Structure 1
């Protein structure tokens, strides 16, 4: 039986191991993909360090990687509409018959491997000319902030917005908010390089959250009305607490980062009087990925600067270390088998 290299998480030990495993055979309704590119996400790091735990994984070992693109390699019984050689990206998850959301590379094997299996309805055709490195990060790094901006927050043109955390999700949020006409866009990050990047990507103002003049600067750029929408992509309690203090009337705080901590409203009087809201957000739906593929193909946004580096699949542990340590302040590192 043919074998392949895969990055496997042993959940009980919280150990990532590069292992040789059998090349999977597609079952009925499945397609095998020859992986060309797979993203390394902070959530992958959190799965390894124990901050996150798979909820629906049958067993104790899983191949990581929920951002995957490649070429159709083999078809299972009953698959129609796909042919070997077609370039595709994979949705970051799927729903089972009961409607439970299962995440690729978390609840079932993902794409940190030479080959990956996918249910046929989770494939999306990659347009001609789109690099696999760009295509693979659309499901999650781009689609998560897109869904947060357009669906959860219902952001409207001209609304004042704040983005806390200009990393893998926040950097794309800045671009997408500019695309839909939000204004002004205020980026908040403690790292100077991240703030510079935010301005380059389209933010109107970039602030250090620890700056003593933070509140005054934000109120000045919003004409004293505060934020209509604040997005927490940092996933840390201080970001949420600070965002709450600068929300305007009917302002919405969207929690897109996962802190696994309590959410506190400091004053119910101000919160209720201002008719404010705290909204949870997770992931995206298939329609969001389809929308983004169309927009990217038409040149509405460019992911070139999102690819911080490309590493061989065998160097997955090094990529995880670099994301964990924020070495080089990466937006996305890509693994290439």
Structure 2
């Protein structure tokens, strides 16, 4: 094996992404090394490069990016029992220590924008042979975050009316997942016409422009006059929250999956209280959510083929980041392939 590999390294001090040659890491105790076959480019990666996010637990100021990773087991460290070279796997997007602190892959320790990546053995998840690496790698985060929002935080039940604001990388999956759990109708809310069309192809029952003067009337008509049982903000902007609160049903829930770093304003506490509504914060997912999604994919219930907007060589990571920044082609996910 070559002693060196290519990696996309973020230098936190000057927020520069550099493609560098670094030593291939050796697995330590309880660790597995995987040969990376696919790694997703997430908006969080862009936020790290731009400075909107900063690693909390990174020792030093350089890290290999990439928290959405799939590949094959390449080498197994001591006490990493049950893993064999050649197994097809994805990696959880992070790991917890004994105190419960979450360390995020590609943020607090080296991630998968590289030819090889290390993972603690309990963060490695086997995947079926017929699940392409490009689809498998985005399950942790791009799919598991909206899945956890839909099933856990939002507690979405069959037959409930659901609205999804922002149908990009997370919201596009939320539309599919809401349909999977039986929400009806599923209403996508998105200013971009192309994204609205895409939402309809992914299973939305309706796709509305939030700027339409008849927006509220349209939601009420689609829901038989009651409004939304659960609304999801995947856009992370204040006007979304304000609009969603105007179309919530009695006991309706607004789930904040997007992060605006702004105050959340409830126009009237008397109406909010009388209707017994709630605003729920959401962040990320747990290990079991990833495992549930792999099980769904194994049974053919989850098809993520439409989510893979393009596949680029790892060496073109900087171009991939630029495309996500500019929203060129309105991608759901761009994938890097070493």
TM-score (norm 1): 0.98
Matching of residue 289 in structure 1 with residue 290 in structure 2:
yes
Aligned to 1:91: 92
Q: Distance in 1 between matches of 2:53 and 2:190?
A: 23
CA–CA distance in structure 1, aligned partners of residues 51 and 176 of structure 2: 31
* Equivalent residues in 2 for 1:83-122, closer than 5 Å: 83-122=84-123
Match of 2:133 in 1: 132
| CA distance in structure 2 between the partners assigned to 1:55 and 1:242 by the alignment | 33
2:217 is matched with which residue? Answer: 216
SS of the aligned residue for 1:292 comes to helix
> How many angstroms does 1:258 deviate by?
1.4
Q: Distance in 2 between matches of 1:39 and 1:259?
A: 23
Q: Which runs of 5 or more structure 1 residues have no equivalent in the other structure?
A: none
After superposition, the C-alpha distances for 1:39-82 in whole angstroms (9 at most, x for unaligned) are: 00011111111111112212211111000000101111111000
In structure 2, the residue corresponding to 1:141 is in which secondary structure?
helix
Residue 191 of structure 1 is matched in structure 2 by 192
Q: Provide runs of 4+ in structure 1 moved above 2 Å.
A: none
Please report how far the alpha carbon of residue 24 of structure 1 lies from its aligned counterpart in structure 2 after TM superposition.
0.7
In the TM superposition, what are the counterparts of 1:151-166 in structure 2 within 5 Å? 151-166=152-167
Distance 2:49 2:222 in 1: 40
Question: How far does residue 11 in structure 1 lie from its aligned partner after superposition?
Answer: 1.2
Alignment match, 2:182: 181
Residue of structure 2 equivalent to 1:29: 30
Structure 2 CA distance for aligned equivalents of residues 275 and 58 of structure 1: 45
Match of 2:8 in 1: 7
Superposed displacement of residue 13, structure 1: 0.9
Residue 281 of structure 1, CA deviation: 0.7
Question: Following TM superposition, by how much is the alpha carbon of 1:298 offset from its aligned partner in structure 2, in angstroms?
Answer: 1.1
Q: Tell me the CA shift for residue 152 of structure 1.
A: 0.6
Describe the SS at the equivalent of 2:138: helix
Deviation larger for 236-245 or 164-173: 236-245
Name stretches of at least 5 consecutive residues in structure 2 with no aligned partner.
none
Structure 1 partner of 2:169: 168
Report the aligned-residue RMSD.
0.9
Counterpart of 1:310 in structure 2 is: 311
Give, in whole Å, the separation in 2 of the partners of 1:135 and 1:110.
Answer: 16
Write the distance in 2 (CA, Å) between the matches of 1:112 and 1:42: 14
